[in-house]
Amino acid sequence: MMLDFLSERPTEKTTKYLLFFSLPLLIITASIVIYLLELSNYPGTLNETQLGFNGEYIKSCFSRMSDEDMSIFIIANVFDYVFMIAYGTFFFSLALTLTRKLKEDSIWKKIGYSISIFGITAACCDGIENIFLLMMASNPKNFPNWWAIAHSCFALAKFIQMYIAIGGIILMVLIIVLSRLIKRNAHDPSGHP
């Protein structure tokens, strides 16, 4: 079973390397992607583009961009794949590291292993979303509107999984902190170390 596999693999050392490698990569790639998107002069909003389910809106945004702007926009979205690897690895390794600190055989541990998978599946959905966006950018005036609908479906799936992963990570941190406080107070009811 996948959850049993994740309890041992990747090793704790490998998981820590993944976590420490992915955090700076996440920060650097996010900054580069944001910079390139701003440089491309894409006039649309992130919300309307990714979650708008509207091909005509995206076509109207593309129609206001020069050829050079479109080239930069495409480069930004190709480079976005590095960002996906970074955040997928970060969410996966952070959730896995936290999960392994939870009480053995608890429901929280099972949930934690599932949360770690959402980091990877969110990045996969993001990758498919970008395939549709790049197809639309390669034919900015005449792409079929269903490409925008498919693009938005995968964006929605990505965001749902990302928010579940972030919420799960926050919940795991709270559980770990609270269990340590309870354990500490159980050893010393006065609350003094």
- For the full predicted model, state whether its pTM sits above 0.85: yes
Q: What contacts 133, CB < 8 A, 6 or more positions away?
A: 77, 151
Give the separation between CA 164 and CA 184, rounded to whole angstroms.
30
24 belongs to a structural domain: yes
Give the separation between CA 80 and CA 57, rounded to whole angstroms.
22
185 belongs to a structural domain: no
21 belongs to a structural domain: yes
Residue-wise pLDDT tens digits, 15-42: 999 999 999 999 999 999 999 999 999 9
> Range of 128's domain?
2-168
The percentage of residues in the chain with a pLDDT greater than 70, rounded to a whole number, is: 95
Residue-wise pLDDT tens digits, 27-81: 999 999 999 999 999 999 989 999 999 999 999 999 999 999 999 999 999 999 9
148 belongs to a structural domain: yes
Mean pLDDT of the chain: 94
Q: What is the pLDDT of residue 130?
A: 98
173 belongs to a structural domain: no
* Average pLDDT of the segment spanning 174-182: 94
121 belongs to a structural domain: yes
